[in-house]
Amino acid sequence: MRFFESFELALKNILAGKMRAFLTMLGIIIGVMSVITIVGLGNGMENYMVDAFKSLGTDTLNIMITGRGSSRSVSEEKMYEIVEEHPEYFLKLSPMVSMGGVTVKLGSETLESPSVTGVSEDYLEMKQYLLMPGGRGLYYVDVRERANVCVVGTYVSETYFNGDAVGETLKISGRMFTIIGVMDIIADSGETEEGGADDVIFIPYSTAARMSGIGVLNSYTVTLVSEDLATPAKAAMEDELYDIFGSDNAYRVQSMSELLGTMTQMLSILITVLALIAGISLLVGGIGIMNIMLVSVTERTREIGIRKALGAKERYIMSQFVIEAATTSVIGGALGILAGFGLSAVATQVIAAMTEESLTVSPSIASVFMAFGISAVIGILFGYLPAKKAAKLNPIDALRYE
C-alpha cells in the first residue's frame, strides 16, 4: 500500500466527520493563528521602530552632560574641539537646548503645541532639513549675538501664517522673535500634524540658554561620518569625556543605532516569548488530536481487526493512523495560516483605528513555513501513540469487539 493511498484513506476519514475533524483541528488552528499573528505583530513593531529611529537619525550621537558636582564641567568650546579632533568619526556638533513649557504667542493667541529648541547654525544641515525658498537658516552670527530669530516648521507656517511666515514675528516667553526661515516638510508621511515633526521652532542655542538660565550647556547632538561607525565613535567620545571628568557617571553618550539595536533585540525577545506562549496552544492542540485519535482507534477497533485479518501488517495500520493524525494537523495548520493572515489584517486596521499610527502587522513567510512544519510534526508526534495502540491490537480481540 502506497503512501498516497494511505493519504487518500485519511482524507476520506476526515471528510466523513467534518464537524469532528474541525473541532479536533481547532487547537492547531488557534495555535498557528496566534503564532503567525504575534510574529507578524513583532515584525510590524520592529519596522515601525526602525522607521521612527531612522527619522531621529541613526547616524547621530546624543550626548548628555550631567556633570560631577559643581566643580567640573565641559564647555561648548571644548566639545567643538573634541569633534574637530576626530574627523574620522564626527562631522558636526550642535548643542541642544530644549525649552520645555515655554509659551509661544502670536499676538494675543497662545500656540500650545510647538516645541522650541535651541540649536546651532549647523543643525538644519546636520538633520538634512531643507528650507523653503525665501527664507534663511540660522547663522553663526545669530548664535554669537544671541539674536531673537527663529526657523519654524511647515505646520507652524501653514497653520498660523498661511504658509507665508518669513518676516513675521512670534512671542516666545515674552520675547519677540523674527521668523527668518520656514522648513520644508520633515515628517516621512508627507503630512504635517499638530505636535509632530513639523510643529517646531528652532532658535539659536545661545539665546535659548540665556532664556532658560542655563549657564553650562549639557546636551549635544553630533553627526557621524557613517552610521556603521556608531560604536567606535561612541567609544571615542566617551574616552574624551572620561579624560575631562575622570568618571563615567558624569555624562551619557547615546547612539541611536545602538539604541535601535538594543530595542530591536528586546522586542525580538519579547516576541519570541509571546510566540512560545502561543506555541503552547499548539501543544494543547496536539494533545487534542491525540485524544480524538485514541477515541477513534477505540471506535474503529473492529475495522482494525478486519483490516488485520485481511492481511494488513502492523506498519500499514500504524501509517494509516499516523497519516490521518498528520493530515488532520496539517489541514488545521493550513486553516490556521489563513486565519493568521486574516487576523493580522484585522489587527492592522484595529491598531490604525485605535492609535492613529500606521503599524502593519506583516506575517513573515518564515513563520508560515514554521507553523506548517510544526503542525505536521505535532500531528506525527501525537498521532504516534494512538497509531501504535491501533497497530498492536490483537486481531482476534479486535474482531470480537462490539
Partner 1 sequence: MERNESPLIEFRSVSKHYYMGDNVVRACDEINMSIYKGEFVAIVGQSGSGKSTCMNIIGCLDVPTFGEYFLGGVSVGTLRKNALAEIRNEMIGFIFQQYNLLAKSNLRENVEIPLMYAGVSKSERRRRATDVLTKVGLGDKLKNRPNQLSGGQQQRVSIARALVGSPSIILADEPTGALDSKTGLEVLSMLRELNEEGNTVVLITHDSSIAARAQRVIRLEDGRVSYDGPVSAAPGVGGDVRTEVGV
Residue numbers of the site for partner 1 (CB under 8 A)? 1, 5, 12-13, 16, 302-303, 305-316, 395-396, 399
> Least distance (Å) from partner 1 to the CB of residue 22?
18
Measured CA to CA, the distance from residue 201 to residue 178 in angstroms comes to 11
Minimum CB–partner distance for residue 308 and partner 1 (Å): 7
The span from the CA of 301 to the CA of 311, in Å, is: 15
**Strands laid side by side in the 175-182 sheet:** 97-99, 115-119, 200-204, 149-152, 175-182, 169-172, 104-106, 109-111
d(CA 40, CA 361): 5
Least separation in angstroms between CB 312 and partner 1: 5
Q: How far is it, in rounded angstroms, from Cα 46 to Cα 383?
A: 37
Give the angle subtended at the CA of 346 by the CAs of 345 and 352, to the nearest 5°: 95
Q: Which is nearer to partner 1, 23 or 309 (CB)?
A: 309
Return the number of the residue (132 or 399) whose C-beta is nearest partner 1. Answer: 399
Q: Which are the contacts of 257, defined by CB distance < 8 A and separation ≥ 6?
A: 53, 58, 59, 227, 230
Minimum CB separation of residue 48 from partner 1 in Å reads 52
CB 327 → partner 1: shortest distance, Å? 16
Shortest Cβ 299–partner 1 spacing (Å): 11
Q: For partner 1, which is the closer residue by CB, 261 or 395? A: 395
Question: Which burial class, exposed, middle or buried, applies to 133 when counting CB atoms under 10 A from its CB (0-12, 13-18, 19+)?
Answer: exposed
Task: List own/partner pairs for 190-195 with CB under 8 A and 24 or more apart.
Answer: 192/153, 192/154, 192/155, 192/158, 193/155, 194/113, 194/155, 195/113
Nearer to partner 1 by Cβ, of 64 and 396: the residue is 396
- Residue closer to partner 1, measured from CB, 171 or 307: 307
Shortest separation between residue 382's beta carbon and partner 1, angstroms: 23
Nearer to partner 1, 1 or 273 (CB): 1
Q: How far apart are CA 173 and CA 104, in angstroms?
A: 6
Q: 72 or 315, CB closer to partner 1?
A: 315
Q: Are 204 and 116 in contact (CB under 8 A)?
A: no
Q: Which is nearer to partner 1, 233 or 393 (CB)?
A: 393
Residues in the chain: 402
Coil, helix or strand for 223?
Answer: strand
CB of 289 to partner 1, least distance (A): 20
